[in-house]
Amino acid sequence: MSKLPLSFACWNYDRITALVDGSVQPEGIDLNYLNMPVEETFWRMMRHQEFDVAELSLSSYLVGRDRGYPHVTAIPVFMSRSFRHSGIFVNTRAGIEKPEDLRGKRIGLPEYQLTACLWIRGILQDEYGVSPSSIQWFTGGEETPGRLEKVTLQLPPEIRIQPIGETQTLNEMLESGDIDALIAPRAPSCFLQGSPNVARLFPNYEEDEKAYFRKTGIFPIMHVIAIRDDVLEANPWVAMNLYVAFEKAKQVVYDGFNQTAALKVTLPWLTAEIERTKLALGDDFWPYGIERNRKTLEAAVRYSYEQGLIKTRPQLEDLFVKSTLERFTI
């Protein structure tokens, strides 16, 4: 019998390599893998629903579910996660020495609803008392002019936000001092090129992020896997079969990390890093499913609601395909 062909748009993470090379195959499914940068995948899925299965921004997904569009439902597979203290960049002449100094400043972000920005604003408010309403926000392209929000936002009136000029970029504005700081998932090119005008707010971000995890138990989730609802309606079995395949593909990565005869990744002290990570986060340090991620997901939903991105706070179980929330036993 022929398998169900499904398009699958996602960046080329190690945790899906086994799905791409065919060493792990979702039962009954033939995946047509499309490797593209996350910004393109999100735009095309949110705007046009071009793919059967796709990596999707968690924040965009929450906003979309709140608006009733696009018609997709996630499975609890989290393609991207990242601690985000490292994503705050400041102009060195702006007088910003600590997080509290961000109050009253001009801060750029590529899109207000980006998941990384959602987390950073939430962390700034929860941990440092810096509310989104205390900042003047500027949105636009980080490296290329003309970037727009993927979805139209309806923010509370106390949020002061405006787009930058049609020919401006946040990278140039940060280096010149036209904005005081930038929060973004991608480090700006001026920082990567060693500009003396730009620095990280948290230079020792790894230690700050580990302390944040010890305090909160939260490992921020950035991206989910979403399936178009018409695919699920016609083939409800697809969700669970994909979920199982993603779990198996992730285990292949863990198995590679656990062998020491030859290094699977081009890092000389990979084994030591894996051991440190397990000590900090546990053996399954990139967990899928709701229960292992409940605290993190609840924080993301709370931030989205408190920051005015969504109008109602959904139950976590309503965000994911129901069949992926339980497993059979023998």
Q: How far is it, in rounded angstroms, from Cα 243 to Cα 26? A: 8
The pLDDT of residue 328 is 81
The pLDDT of residue 22 is 96
Average pLDDT over residues 202-231: 97
Whether the CB-CB separation of 271 and 260 falls below 8 Å is answered with yes
Residue range 122-162, pLDDT digits in tens: 999 999 999 999 999 999 999 999 998 887 788 999 999 99
The SS3 call for residue 220 is coil
* Residue 230: Cβ within 10 Å count: 12
* Residue 55: Cβ within 10 Å count: 25
193 has pLDDT over 90: yes
Average pLDDT over residues 68-96: 97
Whose tokens are 């229960």? That residue is 291
- Of the candidate ranges 26-30, 223-227, 260-264, 326-330, the one whose mean pLDDT is the lowest: 326-330
Residue range 14-69, pLDDT digits in tens: 999 999 999 999 999 999 999 999 999 999 999 999 999 999 999 999 999 999 88
The pLDDT of residue 162 is 94
Count of residues in the chain = 330
CA-wise closest residue to 222 among 42, 73, 70:
42
Residue range 275-308, pLDDT digits in tens: 999 999 999 999 999 999 999 999 999 999 999 9
Percentage of the chain modeled with pLDDT above 90: 94
Q: How far is it, in rounded angstroms, from Cα 54 to Cα 47? A: 13
Q: How far is it, in rounded angstroms, from Cα 173 to Cα 181? A: 9
1 has pLDDT over 80: no
The type of residue at 318 is D
The pLDDT of residue 129 is 98
Angle (CA) 151 83 301, round 5°: 45
Q: How far is it, in rounded angstroms, from Cα 15 to Cα 67? A: 31
